[in-house]
């Protein structure tokens, strides 16, 4: 356990670090992610209900979150059967900075939002241990992030996330409802064709 950096903004239990990543680090992280996507291509996941998600996904780490007609789950392999690539060190450095935890995340989920992609309000509860926070890193186009409470019907608040912003969901916020209502396509030049990448770092297996 090292020191944890203090957030500059707190909304509904969500710790927000606006502009934490300098532009040079964002550019380097996108290069790291090109290698991740080369080893583990983005897929358009299908929900158990048979709907195709508008967000494309892949992952790095020991486990990746996947969904298909069989259900939502963490898997040690990409849908094509290959192990996930390692989480880039530059991404792990962000986890260290904002959590100060010795425990490393098991999963770095990579979400890619092309034009019109969104993510409906949901909870993240497929992990085996909710005592650890989830860390989100935004890259590319700005997105309207909606944050609610632990109950579906609690009021929500919205906040625009920009490239280089980091959010930490820990404590009660770990099980809060959240989603991405819309992305301002072309609002950032980080990705030459536009689009948004969100990385979420997660501890999936219970602490031993
Ligand atoms: C709050 N991703 O991958 S990141 C997701 O921007 C997800 O792609 C959104 O929701 C995105 O599950 C939002 C912020 C986030 C991520 C995980 C959370 C908020 C969270 C887990 C628990 C509570
Ligand atoms: Fe989520």
92 Cα: distance to centroid of ligand 2 (angstroms): 19
**What does the pLDDT read at residue 12?**
81
Ligand 1 neighbourhood includes 167 CB (under 6 angstroms) = yes
pLDDT, residue 1, reads 61
How far is it, in rounded angstroms, from Cα 103 to Cα 111? 23
* Residue 35 counted as domain residue: yes
- Here the CATH number for the domain that contains residue 70 is 2.60.120.590
Which of 57, 145, 178, 202, when mutated, tests ligand 1's pocket best, judged by the most ligand atoms within 8 Å of its CB?
A: 178
Check residue 208 and give its pLDDT: 63
Beta carbons of 76 and 63 less than 8 angstroms apart: yes
Q: Is residue 2 part of a domain?
A: no
The pLDDT tens digits for 45-56 are: 999 999 999 999
| Cα 64 to Cα 71: distance, rounded to the nearest angstrom | 14
Q: Is residue 207 part of a domain?
A: no
Tokens of 137: 């890193």
Domain count within the chain: 1
Beta bridge partners of 139: 197
**Nearest ligand 1 atom to alpha carbon 143:** 6
Question: Along the 208 residues of the chain, how does pLDDT read in single tens digits?
Answer: 678 898 889 988 899 999 999 999 999 999 999 999 999 999 999 999 999 999 999 999 999 999 999 999 999 999 999 999 999 999 999 999 999 999 999 999 999 999 999 999 999 999 999 999 999 999 999 999 999 999 999 999 999 999 999 999 999 999 999 999 999 999 999 999 999 999 999 999 987 6
CA distances from 151 to 14, 52, 118, 130, 198 (A): 15, 26, 21, 16, 24
Please report the sign of the dihedral spanned by the C-alpha atoms of residue 19, residue 24, residue 26, residue 27. positive
In a domain, 22, yes or no: yes
1 domain residue, yes or no: no
Instruction: Note whether 6 and 97 are within 8 A (CB).
Output: no
Q: Which helix (H) or strand (E) holds 67?
A: strand 64-68
Q: How many helices (H) and strands (E) does the chain have?
A: 2, 13
4: in domain: no
176 lines ligand 1 (CB under 6 A): yes
Does residue 51 form part of some domain? Answer: yes
User: Which structural domain range is residue 47 located in?
Assistant: 9-202
Does residue 37 lie within any of the structural domains?
Answer: yes
User: Residues with beta carbon < 5 A to ion ligand 2?
Assistant: 124
Question: What's the pLDDT at 3?
Answer: 86
The protein residue with its alpha carbon nearest to ligand 1, atom 3, reads 200
């Amino acid at each position: 356990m090292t020191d944890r950096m203090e957030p500059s903004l707190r909304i509904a239990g969500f710790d927000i670090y606006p502009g934490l990543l300098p532009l040079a680090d964002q550019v380097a992280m996108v290069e790291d992610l090109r290698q991740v996507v080369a080893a583990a291509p983005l897929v358009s996941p299908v929900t158990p209900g048979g709907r195709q998600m508008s967000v494309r996904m892949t992952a790095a780490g020991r486990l990746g979150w996947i969904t298909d007609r069989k259900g939502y789950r963490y898997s040690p392999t990409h849908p094509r059967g290959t192990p996930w690539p390692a989480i880039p060190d530059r991404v792990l450095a962000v986890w260290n900075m904002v959590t100060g935890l010795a425990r490393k995340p098991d999963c770095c989920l990579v979400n890619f939002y092309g034009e019109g992609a969104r993510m409906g309000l949901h909870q993240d509860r497929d992990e085996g241990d909710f005592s650890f926070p989830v860390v989100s890193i935004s890259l590319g186009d700005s997105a309207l992030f909606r944050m609610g409470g632990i109950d579906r019907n609690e009021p929500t608040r919205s906040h625009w996330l920009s490239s280089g912003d980091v959010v930490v969901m820990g404590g009660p916020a770990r099980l809060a409802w959240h989603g991405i209502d819309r992305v301002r396509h072309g609002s950032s030049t980080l990705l030459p064709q536009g689009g948004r990448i969100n990385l979420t770092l997660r501890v999936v297996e219970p602490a031993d």
